[in-house]
Amino acid sequence: MNAAKPPIDFYFDFSSPYGYIASELVDGFEQRVGRAVTWRPMLLGPILKLTGQPPLIEIPIKGDYARRDFARSARHHKIAYRHPEKFPIGTVAAMRAFYWTHDHDHGQARALAKALFRAYFSQGHDIGSVPAVLEVARGAGIDAAGLAAALEDPALKERAKREVDCAVAARVFGSPYFIVDGEPFWGVDRMGMAEEWIRTGGW
């Protein structure tokens, strides 16, 4: 990895199908560009309120297209996908769990994020509740008892809120959303463009 360059920010919401697809592709992306990627889960809900938009699937006509495209995009990238029965969901607990884990072990936090995404988008599990998140965390080898206590800690709740505020300040409005040296790239379909941008030094 190129230590001279700052990490690439990877913003996502755990209830985003495109965020899930990006999470499965980002390791390869990271290796190809030779730059570290910082995983930064956030919440789309507050951002959608700021932009005055409803969730994608609630938009007439566009929502029907999105449902088709979620599965099609996953097939295109050869990623397992099963559209959740309950969608979208609140992902506050999942986000808080990530940041608590991240403060202890960055690699384990990334593994947890992947496990949460896969549980929701390929295994049919609703990860919207604290018990569900703890079950996934336990399966990922994380101290579930310690995490359960932390999820009630006001300090962790404030930490998660700050992360959402940072996403808003960075003008993030979708998932996934990459920021490379100040240059924003929205959507899993822009990962190739971001890669070329890095390789060529921009254009």
pLDDT of residue 85: 94
Strand partners, 185: 178
* Per-residue pLDDT at 181 exceeds 80: yes
Confidence of residue 126 (pLDDT cuts 50, 70, 90): very high
* Per-residue pLDDT at 131 exceeds 80: yes
> pLDDT tens, 88-105?
999 999 999 999 999 999
Strand partners, 177: 11, 186
Peptide bond between residue 176 and the one before it cis (omega within 30 degrees of 0) = yes
Element spanning 15, H or E: none
Q: Compute the half-sphere exposure of residue 102: CA atoms within 13 Å on the CB side of its CA.
A: 16
Average pLDDT over residues 178-201: 96
Q: What is the pTM of this model?
A: 0.95
pLDDT of residue 53: 85
Q: Where is average pLDDT lowest: 48-52, 121-125, 157-161, 178-182?
A: 48-52
* Per-residue pLDDT at 3 exceeds 70: no
pLDDT of residue 149: 96
CATH number of the domain located at residue range(s) 8-200 in this protein: 3.40.30.10
Confidence of residue 202 (pLDDT cuts 50, 70, 90): confident
Average pLDDT over residues 121-135: 97
What is the residue-averaged pLDDT of the chain? 95
Dist CA 180 CA 10 (whole Å): 9
* Per-residue pLDDT at 2 exceeds 80: no
Dist CA 155 CA 164 (whole Å): 15
pLDDT of residue 52: 86
* Long-range Cβ pairs for the range 153-161 (8 Å, 24+): 156/96, 156/99, 156/100, 157/96, 159/96, 159/99, 160/92, 160/95, 160/96, 160/99
pLDDT of residue 166: 96
CA angle 120, 126, 131 (to 5 degrees): 120
> pLDDT tens, 27-79?
999 999 999 999 999 999 999 988 888 888 899 999 999 999 999 999 999 99
> pLDDT tens, 158-174?
999 999 999 999 999 99
Tokens of 115: 């496990």
Dist CA 111 CA 105 (whole Å): 10
